[in-house]
């Protein structure tokens, strides 16, 4: 297996395996993960989207045929191409950095130095271990360093990172890191509360539990700031 560089100081995949002694199956079955960056190949964007759709369509045809489905049936005939288009253009379009939302920054003219909270952002992602949906909400806040972004851009950034095969912890951190970078502030908070279809519709078949992950940095590490944020999110 190839060594993978990561942007933060966490163990490389081989070290994770060696340190913890988990097998690849155990990592996936338990929704563990090995890097804060989405593990990508170096040649990830050598193929254009059209070619990717064609190839995925062919392979999805194979999957359906192996399952015993009759692709001569008019209802199933268009499925491989439809799935391929959905993967490349919609639910996994966030893998391509070219699709990152363009964000215009505005000067914080009115010196609004209070917390800005965007809550209940609808979130649809997919589990990278099972390729089934993760559905939930994201709550995001920041304290301006002098720059602000349009509110809808926060939703778009959440959507962008959600449109990847994901683990919830990584999704939370990727959204937080990107906001910190573009807003030029350390004071960012992200909470994600989501249900995983791989937990509710299969495996342990628990349909009531949800998973909450959070990332607090800068002033959100201070109790007063954090509790103000939580009050906005949960008691407003």
Q: Which residues bind Zn ion (CB under 5 A)?
A: 127, 129-130, 198
> Which one is catalytic: 128, 139, 159, 166?
128
Residue 159: active-site member: no
Residue 179 vs 198, nearer CB to Zn ion? 198
Residue 160: active-site member: no
Pairing of strands 147-149, 105-107: antiparallel
Residue 168: active-site member: yes
Min separation Cβ 166 and Zn ion, Å: 10
> Which one is catalytic: 130, 139, 160, 178?
130
Min separation Cβ 196 and Zn ion, Å: 6
Hey, what's the torsion of the CAs at 76, 80, 85, 86, to 10 degrees?
70
Residue 127 vs 157, nearer CB to Zn ion? 127
Residue 162 vs 185, nearer CB to Zn ion? 162
Residue 130: active-site member: yes
Min separation Cβ 89 and Zn ion, Å: 23
CB atoms closer than 10 angstroms to residue 34: 21
Residue 207 vs 227, nearer CB to Zn ion? 207
Residue 196: active-site member: yes
Min separation Cβ 73 and Zn ion, Å: 30
Tokens representing 209 are 């539990």
> Which one is catalytic: 159, 166, 168, 174?
168
Residue 198: active-site member: yes
Residue 15: active-site member: no
Active site residues: 127-130, 168, 196, 198
């Amino acid at each position: 297996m190839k060594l993978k560089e990561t942007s933060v100081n966490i163990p490389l995949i081989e070290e994770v395996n060696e340190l913890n002694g988990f097998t690849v199956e155990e990592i996936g079955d338990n929704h563990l993960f090995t890097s804060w960056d989405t593990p990508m190949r170096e040649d990830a964007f050598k193929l254009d989207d059209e070619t990717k759709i064609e190839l995925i369509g062919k392979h999805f045809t194979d999957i359906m045929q192996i399952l015993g489905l009759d692709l001569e049936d008019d209802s199933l005939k268009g499925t491989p191409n439809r799935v391929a288009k959905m993967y490349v253009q919609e639910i996994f379009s966030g893998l391509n950095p070219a699709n990152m939302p363009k964000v215009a920054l505005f000067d914080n003219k009115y010196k609004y130095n209070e917390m800005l909270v965007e809550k209940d952002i609808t979130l649809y992602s997919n589990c990278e271990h099972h390729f089934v949906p993760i559905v939930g909400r994201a709550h995001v806040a920041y304290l301006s360093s002098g720059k602000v972004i349009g509110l809808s851009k926060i939703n778009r950034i959440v959507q962008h990172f959600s449109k990847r095969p994901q683990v919830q912890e990584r999704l939370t951190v990727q959204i937080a890191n990107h906001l910190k970078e573009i807003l030029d502030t350390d004071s960012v908070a992200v909470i994600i509360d989501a249900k995983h279809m791989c937990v509710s519709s299969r495996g342990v078949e628990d349909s009531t539990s949800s998973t909450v992950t959070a990332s607090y940095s800068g002033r959100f590490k201070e109790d007063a700031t954090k509790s103000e944020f939580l009050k906005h999110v949960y008691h407003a």
